[in-house]
Amino acid sequence: MNDILIIGGGLAGLTSAILLQQNGYQVSVFEKKKYPFHRVCGEYISNEVFPFLESLNIGISESAYARINRLAITSVSGKILQADLPMGGFGLSRYKLDHLMYEQAKRLGVEFIFEKVDNIFFNEGKFHITTPGNTVYETPIAIAAYGKRSNLDQKLNRSFFYRRSPYLGVKYHIKTDLPGNLVRLDNFQGGYCGVSKIEDDKSCLCYLSETANLKKYSGIPEMEETVLFKNPYLRSLFKNSEFLFESPEVINEISFEKKSLVENNLLFCGDSAGMITPLCGNGMAIAIHSAKILADSIMRFAKKGSILNRIAMENEYIFQWEKQFALRLKSGRLIQRLFGNTFISDLTVSTLGKLPGMTQILVKKTHGKALIY
């Protein structure tokens, strides 16, 4: 029996674990992989969460992260738009950031169980979580922070799982001649690619593509040469960079559908609570912020070993999450429609280039305010 069990050790799971453990709860985290490891992610983080990350004492200030304050967007045909990022952000790999957070969680006493979770169900006020070895863990509070898509979604009968998603994500780390303060978004037919500096003078190159692009070709390299390279900026980036992975990190079936934050008393956080559209400003910052909201709701309505009011706790979490992110995620979904199409991306870049004020409005719509902690 634990006070709180968290399924998934990504940014949302680790943030929740650190906050709850340092406030007196006994927390255990299930994670399938051993740290450090790579995840498919753009690895640009809005400065809205930087002071909060400093407060967690994970050593973020000592990390060799890249500071980013400029945005460039290119259309499929090669038109380019450039703008300032007033709040700005920083680049740091998930390989490094997740490991920093994991090490701090361990120092605080969080238990890590490096096993896959087979099933979870709620009965008589407790969650029962099973692993492949048929070990059963029990807890009054469980958090699902396992990411974009999992077999658990099927076992929990979540409706989105049965609708096929048309997107896949691909990530590389590269060495390239790119300004350290720039995040660039390059359009191609059926998708878009983000590239920005991270630590150690490396860059993260991560793109989202319609799965239909891949089905037309023999594999990812052929798809990239045939589809992505139609954008001259992407062609130059791929041809003039040193690729540091033997093969890319890939994730399929990325869904941008709205998901429930609470189902059968299970609390969902991060991408498990709703995939964050890349053009919402920054998925990493939203995942961290959402975990802070969830931890605050738990600490308000649950004491060590008991829950004062489960319904009030769940409603508080839903209310605060919607207040912070509903409009921002909606804006991101609308803005995403302006990208990933040859004609529309050309028109968008050309129009916004003549309307710098509108560009700044869109930037503000997709970035949050500084996280108060």
Residue 372: the pLDDT is 74
Question: Beta strands 27-30 and 4-7: pairing type?
Answer: parallel
pLDDT tier, 169 (very low <50, low <70, confident <90, very high otherwise): very high
For each of the domains in the chain, give its residue range(s) and CATH number, in order of start: 4-365 (3.50.50.60)
Residue ranges of alpha helices (H) inside 187-282 are: 211-215, 220-226, 232-239
CA angle 340-342-348, nearest 5°?
80
- Kindly state the percentage of the chain with pLDDT values over 70: 94
Pairing of strands 249-254, 242-243: unpaired
pLDDT band at 1 (very low <50, low <70, confident <90, very high): low
- Assign 202 a pLDDT band (cuts: 50, 70, 90): very high
Distance CA 234, CA 239 (A): 8
Indicate the SS3 state at residue 100.
helix
Tell me: pLDDT of 194 over 80: yes
Is residue 366 predicted with pLDDT exceeding 80?
no
Q: Find the angle CA(188)-CA(194)-CA(195) to the nearest 5 degrees.
A: 125
Among 288, 284, 279, 373, smallest CA distance to 334 is for 279
What pLDDT shows up at residue 64? Answer: 84
pLDDT tens by residue, 81-110: 998 988 889 999 999 999 999 999 999 999
Give the DSSP H or E segment for 30. Answer: strand 27-30
Q: What is the pLDDT of residue 280?
A: 43
